[in-house]
A and B are shown apart, each in its own frame.
Chain A
């Protein structure tokens, strides 16, 4: 067991490679990472830099080629498919760029699904789903199909779904990639609220605005980390100059 209870994610020398020989592609190249409990981490980088792949490894959607990975103190880099399924069920919530909701289920049923898969009774699952939909502000749309929801609303349903089993960690892969600015704001507000309530969040994005809301920002290129910035707040005073208010 490694690290204190305060470290949710710990990666050492994490690698993901495709192909071999001449055609070897290092999607994730010897990445070391620590994510503290309650931290909001943003990972940015150009397309193809491996940030999405890294996130998938952290979330157990894919297996690393090498390196070590711990989640909440448990080593997960050598887990079987069944073990990874367990992981996804209880420890990790995932939010995708394309939402990936089930088209034939209502918002409520979509949010219930992870709880049902985790073995909760239908009633428990339903209650939990209602609570979560309220939390994301969509209680009045619980009975709507995804096709009747806007992009932002769908993503909020997906976020609610990711919280269904009280995960230790929520991973979001370009959550606002398919959204217009208005919907982006909705999702942004939600993430802020979740962060404030203590949720550990890792977001992959190339939207600077989303990245700027994080506590820490990591830049990635060609599968490796190249920069890390700790973002601390200031005041709005200095902003005036940007809009010609000074002088």
Chain B
């Protein structure tokens, strides 16, 4: 027990002495563990809010719809008597329209409803009251998006000509209403419709968050939010010039579990059906996308954290050899030595993991908030024991893997040489030395510098490769998201509709968080490598200066040595990034834009160069004599 305490005491003192490094390491591991814990928190999130909403709104098992029908077709109404159907509501007329408020216009589906309540899909009011003449009830996510409040005045009208109608041209159905039709290529003319007051805000389980793409609603209408109006208002809207419409029907089944097969069985003859499971899956889609991004992201960050720890530990091992010698000289066993070296790192890793868990726990609700269209909150707050276990386990594994090799090597050093502080001597690369002799002096010195510490050069290159790869993947995601296959419980492709689509917004938010964390960690790694290189090369640089190398030459040499590992890393990172994107996106395809890739690579290289140049230049100011004296102290 006493020995354990001794080990811990030495380790803690060690950490206190090297605060800056400890902080850097902390940052790196916190970033990685926070991302991981958020990703893990997203695992069991999906179902609760949707279930709550379904329960509160008497949500349907199946929603059926047709498009472009003058009256509810027999095929639709016959579903009410389908096998297993125990209840239904509708059919309700849906008029495609535009909600105009404050000069801003958004496409909406206006569903005509009775003022009385029904037994299937009765939207639950969260503000105000249900439909009445002249009033419109807005679906909550749409209301949030447009910042609508009860009592505001809005207009529902249509744009004539141009392409917002389904199929792009003026539609069939009863026309009429004021306003001349426009010719092709002509301007958009407003057919002014009735004006309404927002009387209420509600949620429903029968539709996805607004505005989502057509595949969210079986009617096949294009991106539209949902509002409810009186039946007569809906009819009126449907008769407006350019007003497309259809009918929707809500069904409850005896066996809710049979909904998907029911939907599949009746999906024909112009009918569109969607089961509640598919809707639920869609609800969960946002979270699934986030989770996919975060899980991949946290693995990448984990790799970067591994590189950080390895770099840091490698850099410190050289300083530790003398301490190792002392411990051994007073009777410490190699196990004790390894223990001391590991203990410090582990304590740090555990603290960082704890902080990362807390950060992740606090951040997760932001990302798992199901959105305004559903009731209730996701079941995130309770930090699952398994999450804690995995995160802490990951931190420990990363630390041990990065530390164990140098630690074991240090403990095996003979006591004598450790006491004499025979620091790990640099490797020798004969061909590098011979080859570099022909090159200009900064490259000569830089190449030789890089060749001295191969492990560090490789780690640095790997870090840069991961960073560039991740940035390229993010770039591709932004450019190609439309074709991203995120089929999770939904048959077929889901297309991101672009800005305005909550899935898109949410996905981009998460991506941003990940990118920030990535860049942060990459910076940490770059700083660590730079610091280690400058420290390590102090003696060599001082000797070179004593022999006549100018400060400019030696600074440039240090920068060169970094670039010699960063450049190959960046180049390798590009195909890695493409591969990453293709792997995560599954069936997605495509290449990143050349400009984007060039930009990422150049920025990364420039950042590495800048990060190195500054400490190198500062080091070059110190008089040669001082450095040489201190190096031999």
Check B425–A88 contact: CB distance below 8 A.
no
Distance of A106 from chain B, by nearest CB (Å): 8
Shortest distance from the beta carbon of A3 to any chain B beta carbon, whole Å = 24
Residue contact A81 to B437, C-beta cutoff 8 Å: no
Given A62-B625, A63-B623, A122-B438, CB of A103 within 8 Å of CB of B546: no
> Contact check: which of A56, A81, A98, A104 meets B625 at CB < 8 Å?
A56
A100 to B552, CA, bound (A): 21
B567 is an interface residue with CB less than 8 A from chain A: no
- From residue B269, how far is it (CB to closest CB) to chain A in Å? 81
A119, B548: Cα distance in complex, Å: 11
Interface stretch, picked from B1-9, B56-64, B494-502, B537-545, is B537-545
Q: Is A81 a contact partner of B426 (Cβ separation < 8 A)?
A: no
Q: Are A147 and B425 closer than 8 Å at their CB atoms?
A: yes
Find out whether the CB atom of B548 lies under 8 angstroms from the CB atom of A117.
Answer: yes
Question: Is A85 a contact partner of B549 (Cβ separation < 8 A)?
Answer: yes
Which of A31-39, A107-115, A180-188, A202-210 makes up part of the contact surface?
A: A107-115
Checking B433, B547, B623 against A109 with a beta-carbon cut-off of 8 angstroms, the contacting residue is: B433
Docked-complex contact B551 and A85, CB < 8 angstroms: yes
Chain A residues, Cβ within 8 Å of B586:
none
Residues of A near B552 (CB, < 8 A) are 82
* Contact status of A85 and B425, CB under 8 A, knowing A61-B623, A62-B624, A98-B632: no
| Closest beta carbon of chain B to A12's beta carbon, Å | 21
Instruction: Give the distance to chain B from A55, nearest Cβ to Cβ, in Å.
Output: 9
Report if A61-B624 is in contact (Cβ < 8 Å); known contacts: A116-B441, A117-B549: yes
Give the complex CA separation of A96 and B627 in angstroms: 13
- B628 lies within 8 A of chain A by Cβ: yes
Contact across chains for A102 and B548 when beta carbons are under 8 A apart: no
Question: When each residue 112-128 of chain A gets 1 if its CB lies under 8 Å from chain B and 0 otherwise, what string results?
Answer: 11101111001001000
Q: How far is the CA of A147 from the CA of B620 in the complex (A)?
A: 28
B70 at the interface (CB under 8 A from A): no
* Cβ < 8 Å to A, chain B residues 611-630: 620-621, 623-626, 628
Q: Do the beta carbons of A117 and B551 come within 8 Å of each other? A: no
Mark out the residues of chain B between 440 and 459 whose CB falls within 8 Å of any chain A CB in the assembled complex: 441, 444, 448, 452
Interface set, chain B 542-579, CB cutoff 8 A to A: 542-553
B272-316: contact bitstring with A at CB < 8 Å (1 yes, 0 no)? 000000000000000000000000000000000000000000000
- For chain A, the bracket of interface size reads 35 or more
Contact between A122 and B437, CB atoms less than 8 A apart = yes
A81 to B426, CA, bound (A): 28
Of residues 208 through 245 on chain A, the ones whose CB sits less than 8 Å from some CB of chain B are none
Measured in the bound complex, the distance between the Cα atoms of B542 and A88 in whole Å is 12
Q: Which residue of A lies closest to B440 (CB)?
A: A119
Q: Is there contact, CB below 8 Å, between B546 and A94?
A: yes
Q: Check: B428 CB closer than 8 A to any chain A CB.
A: yes
A194 touches B (CB below 8 Å):
no
Q: Which of A82, A89, A113 has the most CB of B within 10 A?
A: A113
Any chain A CB within 8 A of the CB of B427?
yes
Q: Is the CB of A61 within 8 A of B433?
A: no
A104 touching B425 in the complex, CB below 8 Å, given contacts A113-B547, A117-B544, A118-B548: yes
Given A63-B623, A109-B433, A122-B438: A86 touches B551 (CB 8 Å cut-off): no
Judging by beta carbons under 8 Å apart, are A85 and B550 in contact?
yes
CB–CB A112/B437 < 8 A: yes
- Least Cβ distance of B414 to chain A in Å? 15
- Chain A residues whose CB sits within 8 angstroms of the CB of B542 once the complex forms: 100
A94 and B444 alpha carbons, distance in the complex (Å): 22
Given A82-B552, A117-B441 in contact, is the A105-B433 Cβ separation under 8 Å?
yes
Interface string of B454-467 (1 = CB under 8 A from A): 00000000000000
Task: Give complex CA distance A234, B628 in Å.
Answer: 40
For residue A141, CB closer than 8 A to chain B, the reply is no
Candidates B427, B444, B540; contact of A116 at CB < 8 Å: B444
Contacts A112-B437, A116-B444 given; indicate if A104 touches B427 (C-beta within 8 A).
yes
Interfacial chain B residues near A195, Cβ < 8 Å: none
Q: Which residue, B448, B624, B632, has most C-beta atoms of chain A within 10 A?
A: B624
Q: Nearest-CB distance from B302 to chain A (Å)? A: 34
Contact, CB under 8 Å: A114 / B547: yes
Contact across chains for A61 and B441 when beta carbons are under 8 A apart: no
CB neighbours (8 Å) of A98 from chain B are 628, 632
User: Do A104 and B441 touch (CB < 8 A)?
Assistant: no
| Contact (Cβ within 8 A) B540 A102 | yes
Nearest B residue to A101, CB-CB? B543
Cβ–Cβ < 8 Å partners of A117 in chain B: 441, 544, 547-549
Tell which of B441, B624, B625, B626 has the most Cβ of chain A within 10 Å. B625
Interface residues of A in 142-184 (CB under 8 A from B): 145, 147, 161, 165
Instruction: Say whether, besides A82-B552, A98-B632, A112-B437, A104 and B547 are in contact (CB < 8 Å).
Output: no
Mark A11-46 against chain B: 1 for CB-CB distance below 8 A, else 0: 000000000000000000000000000000000000
CB contacts (< 8 Å) of A122 on chain B: these are 437-438
**Inter-subunit contact A85/B441 (CB<8 Å):** no
- A39 CB to nearest B CB, Å: 23
Task: Identify the B interface with A (CB < 8 A).
Answer: 425-428, 433, 437-438, 441, 444, 448, 452, 539-540, 542-553, 620-621, 623-626, 628, 632
Point out residues on A near B: beta carbons under 8 Å.
53, 56, 61-63, 81-82, 85-90, 94, 96, 98, 100-105, 109, 112-114, 116-119, 122, 125, 145, 147, 161, 165
A100-B542, A117-B549 given; name 8 further pairs at CB < 8 Å: A61-B546, A81-B550, A85-B553, A98-B628, A102-B540, A104-B426, A116-B437, A122-B438
Q: Enumerate 19 A-B pairs (CB-CB under 8 Å) in ascending A order.
A: A61-B628, A62-B623, A62-B624, A62-B626, A81-B551, A81-B621, A85-B550, A85-B553, A86-B550, A87-B548, A96-B628, A100-B546, A104-B426, A104-B427, A104-B452, A113-B547, A114-B547, A116-B444, A117-B544
